[in-house]
Chains A and B, each alone.
Chain A
Amino acid sequence: MIAFNKYYNHFNLLSSVLILVSLLLLIFKGLNFGIDFKGGTLIELRASESKINVSSLRDRFNQMDLGDVSVKKFGNDTDFLVKFENKDNKKNIIEEIKANLDKSFGNNYDFRRVENVGPKVSAELLKSGVIAISLSLALMLIYIWIRFEWQFSLGAILALFHDVIVTLGVFSLFSLEINLSIIAAVLTIVGYSMNDTVVIFDRVRENLRKYSDIKIFELTNISINETLSRTIITSATTLLALLAIYFFGGEILKGFSLAMILGVVFGTYSSIYIANTVLVRLRVSQKTVLREEEDKK
């Protein structure tokens, strides 16, 4: 049996620091919102000539008076991703750019993807993203409240907040782009982290009923160990699937799968070191479970 409970305090401190640092990053550095949430234009371009590279593209685009233009390689040497604000939301901007690029590069390039999101739409998408995440957290809270005692709910929700905040913190730290698919990833993380926590809590409650003489500090450790191989196997297979997406699923899914990978790692960690320590700190005992059951009857 691994003594997870020996490190409860250490990891609680670590988690607090992680959350604090993430919050500071989110407040002061902020998130790198993609055009989905900020508005603007994105062009994925494939070149068939070596003359077309990041610097020559940047030169061209900067001459076109599009505001802040970012040009980056996208996956391999011939693919580029160009983003700009398109402040005035000009109507025929894509056609103008094409005409302009034709002059310098002939037809040795191809637009593989064009996205243009107006300011109104991006504001709405951001709003609905925030609503979606808040709603999912609220629903999880309600669900776990129905299924468990309030001490458990609190533990699970703290673990959820930890996972979401720290994942976003990592995105802020490395200035990784937040787009629609990241919201999908965050929601899936919420589901996964909850799933992981619930499995351990289920066991904790079962053991609470079984043993009246074991203190919660010991009891959580027993429960974690009993469910440990399941935790490891499920995390492993999920991570294997996600790594396959990250490495082979193409550039577009990279951010999405990265967010999920982070979420699975944090989710597994938080189920053990946040959710359970809340139970210990709230001195949950057999009475907690039995009293609640009496009330429900």
Chain B
Amino acid sequence: MLYFSKLRILFITLFSVLFILIASSNLFKFDDNFFDKKINLGLDLQGGSYLLLEIDNEPVIEQKLQNLTTTIRNYFKEKNIKINNIKIENQNIFFNVLENNKQSVLEVFQDENSDLNPYYPRFKSHQLEIEDSGLNFKVNFSRQGLIKLKTSSQDQAIEIVRRRVDEVGTNEPNILKRGNNRILVELPGLDDPMRIKSLLGKTANLTFRFVTNDENDRFGVEKLKFENGLEEATVSKRIIISGENLLDAQPKMDTQANQTIVSFTLDRVGAKRFGKATSTGIGKQLAIVLDGKIISAPVVRDTIASGSGQISGGFTFQTATDLALLLRSGALPAPLEIIEERTVGPDLGQDSINAGMIALAIGFMLVIIFMFVKYKIFGLITNVTLIVNLFILLGVLTLFEATLTLPGIAGIILTVGMAVDANVLIFERIKEELKDETNNILAFDGGYTKSRTAILDANITTLLAAIILFFMGSGPVKGFAVTLGVGIFTTLFSVYFIARLFTSIYVSRNKDKEKLI
């Protein structure tokens, strides 16, 4: 057992050197792609912002149901079935029909090829559920229907969020889905997320609608407040053009009026509609409505057929720039709420790195001195192993470009403290063996084999804890789980290959020495 073949020694050496090289690529620059990897620093170490956004799907559901009532009415109208008393209450659509139509309505909703109520064969579920009590029906989204709706609004929202964040131009943002109604935004290096937060907090739903005094407008009317919150105006629900019709929007300086404006260009459809509306509506007030508030309501003086126009509303250059950005990147399908925010300034991150490194150095020194005092030559072997172990651990983290966090550094320090455990178990066992065994080599063999189950048990229990942490923890804590877990494997490697190689060399050279350990 003490014998190590040349091949094995070569393999161990190569393996260790490889990882030491990979680990050192964090300090030097390598031309080679394979070596030019770096450990990612977590947001708590490099500074930056972590934002968790939740999509408020209620308005989307309301809107969809609203549209559905129209669709249902028209769909059955074609089939000469009259839908009576259709209304929405608590996210349910209620309506009733005549006795002789009941069966055909149910059939439409339960038909797997129905275009009114799409069927998802994979989930064996329709989009909508229908319940009937007598001639009254209740229709609402099925579980699958709701999931589909949420994922689709999440897909749209993440796209918009990405565009807005990109427009602001932070370096390497990380934007990920969480569940089916959340979006995680990580912004490394950003120490003041105020602007991004305010940009992400706006839905940016832009519409151009006429101000009207006619309460009986065909499309309905609503009272909206101006941006300043003081005045109000009655606005038609008929949308002339909306944000979707915009091709581009830019902040500009209007030199005549000496104010900042946002100028926009419309697509073909938008330009046509805008031209028509401005030609028939000369003298009327056109309200520019953003997220339910009127920015301004200028009076139409001329027909605008060019397909471009401008919005004024007492902007500063900053607010004009942001509005233009929001309009360019499009409207969110639903409002977003920031439900968790964690921001670390870059200098605190640097302080944390420094403190972590000092703690690592001191912890390492203490353990090394302790082991040397306690075990002398075997302590030395343990210490060399410990250093190689540290490099391999860093090498593995670098190779997988893992994210290092402050608790992650604590995990490395803890690994240093616990890594000696396996060697100690072995050495103590060897000591015991030597009490009855005069042959040094046999005693060493015994020490290794008899301590094996205890070492495995000990490491598996810690690994179990690390695995749970990895899956349940978030952000920084996950970094701790990673270093602790990877540390277990590198420790086992260094104990059973590197330390054992050294001990076997030492023992075979001192076969007959008394009081070996």
Judge if A290 is at the interface, Cβ distance under 8 Å. Answer: no
Chain A residue at smallest Cβ distance from B341: A116
User: Are B416 and A184 within 8 A (Cβ)?
Assistant: no
Complex-state Cα separation, A243 to B364, whole angstroms: 11
User: Are A241 and B344 touching (Cβ within 8 A)?
Assistant: no
Return 22 A-B CB contacts under 8 Å, by A number: A111-B343, A112-B347, A115-B341, A116-B338, A116-B342, A125-B474, A184-B477, A188-B465, A191-B464, A198-B454, A198-B461, A202-B457, A233-B424, A234-B420, A237-B371, A237-B421, A238-B421, A240-B363, A241-B367, A242-B417, A245-B363, A249-B409
- A-chain residues with CB within 8 Å of residue B418 when the two chains form the complex: 192, 234, 237-238, 241
Q: Which of A115, A194, A227 contacts B461 (CB 8 A)?
A: A194
Identify A113's interface contact among B343, B360, B472, CB under 8 A: B343
B472 touches A248 (CB 8 A): no
* Residue pair B454, A199 in contact (C-beta under 8 Å): yes
Q: Which of B67-75, B90-98, B252-260, B350-358 contacts A (4 or more CB under 8 A)?
A: B350-358
Asked whether, in the complex, the Cβ of B464 is within 8 Å of the Cβ of A184, the reply is no
Q: Is the beta-carbon distance between A253 and B343 smaller than 8 angstroms? A: no
- Chain B binding surface SS class: helix
Rounded to whole Å, the gap between the CB of A214 and the closest CB of chain B is 17
Taking CB atoms, residues of chain B closer than 8 Å to A139 are 464, 468
Within 8 A of B (CB), among A83-141: 91-92, 94-95, 110-118, 120-121, 125, 128-129, 131-132, 135-136, 139-140
Q: Given A120-B54, A120-B339, A234-B418, list of 9 further CB < 8 A pairs?
A: A118-B339, A188-B484, A192-B418, A241-B418, A244-B359, A244-B366, A244-B413, A249-B356, A257-B410
Q: Does A52 contact B (CB under 8 A)?
A: no
Interface residue A211 (Cβ < 8 Å from any Cβ of B): no
Closest 10 CB pairs of A and B: A241-B417, A244-B363, A191-B465, A250-B355, A132-B472, A249-B359, A118-B339, A194-B461, A191-B462, A238-B417
Residue from B358, B367, B424, B474 within 8 A of A240 (CB atoms): B367
The answer, yes or no, to whether B340 is at the interface (CB within 8 Å) is yes
> Which of A125, A181, A250, A260 contacts B356, CB < 8 Å?
A250
* Distance of A233 Cα from B343 Cα, bound (Å): 40
CB distance from A120 to the nearest CB of B (A): 6
Roughly how many angstroms separate A188 CA and B341 CA in the complex, as a whole number? Answer: 27
CB distance from A41 to the nearest CB of B (A): 9
Known A-B contacts A91-B201, A120-B54, A184-B473; the reply to A249 vs B345 at CB < 8 A is no
Q: Does B176 have its Cβ within 8 Å of any Cβ on chain A?
A: no
B477's partner among A94, A180, A203, A233 (CB-CB below 8 A) is: A180
**B86 contacts the other chain (Cβ, under 8 Å)?**
no
Does chain B have a CB within 8 A of A226?
yes
Residues of B near A190 (CB, < 8 A) are: 465
- With a CB–CB cut-off of 8 A, which chain B residues contact A240? 363, 366-367, 370, 417
B470 to chain A, nearest CB (A): 10
Give B55 Cβ to nearest chain A Cβ, in Å: 13
Contact of A237 among B351, B417, B432 (CB under 8 A): B417
In the assembled complex, the Cα of A292 lies from the Cα of B345 at a distance in Å of 59
Decide if A183 is an interface residue (CB 8 Å cutoff). Answer: yes
Within 8 A of B (CB), among A213-267: 226-227, 229-230, 233-234, 236-245, 247-250, 252-253, 256-257, 260
Please give, as numbers and ranges, the residues of chain B lying within 8 Å of A198 by CB-CB distance.
Answer: 454, 457-458, 461
A233/B374 in contact, CB under 8 A: yes
Q: Complex: how many Å from CA A94 to CA B194? A: 9
Interface residue ranges of B453-512 to A (CB < 8 Å) = 453-454, 457-466, 468-469, 472-474, 476-477, 480-481, 484
Q: What residue of chain A has the Cβ atom nearest to residue B432's Cβ?
A: A226
B199 part of interface (Cβ distance < 8 Å): no
Q: Is B407 an interface residue (CB 8 A)?
A: yes
Mask of B47-67 contacts with A, CB within 8 angstroms, 1/0: 000001010000000000000
A147 on interface, CB distance cutoff 8 Å: yes
Q: Which residues, 312 to 370 on B, are CB-close (under 8 Å) to A?
A: 337-345, 347-348, 351-352, 355-356, 358-360, 362-363, 366-367, 370
Q: Is B167 an interface residue (CB 8 A)?
A: no
**Residue among B409, B416, B477 facing the most chain A CB atoms (10 A cut-off):** B477
Q: How far is the CB of A239 from chain B (nearest CB, A)?
A: 8
Question: Are B345 and A136 in contact, CB atoms less than 8 angstroms apart?
Answer: no
- Shortest Cβ distance from residue B255 to the other chain A in the assembled complex, whole angstroms: 32
Is B406 interfacial (CB 8 A cutoff)? Answer: yes
| B359 and A248 contacting across the interface, CB-CB below 8 Å | yes
> Is A12 an interface residue when CB atoms closer than 8 A count as contact?
no
> Complex: how many Å from CA A91 to CA B453?
56
Q: Does B414 contact A (CB under 8 A)?
A: yes
* B132 interface residue (CB < 8 Å to A): no
Q: Which residue of A is nearest B488, CB measured?
A: A191
**A257 to B342 alpha-carbon distance, docked (Å):** 22
B12 within 8 A of A: no
Most buried by B among A113, A114, A184, A230: A184
Q: Which residues of A contact B374 (CB under 8 A)?
A: 233
- Report the minimum CB–CB distance from B301 to chain A (whole Å): 38
A143 at the interface (CB under 8 A from B): yes
Cβ-defined partner of B366 (8 Å) among A184, A191, A229, A241? A241
Of chain A, the residue at the smallest CB distance from B462 is A191
For residue A195, CB closer than 8 A to chain B, the reply is yes
**Is B428 located at the chain interface by the 8 A CB criterion?**
yes
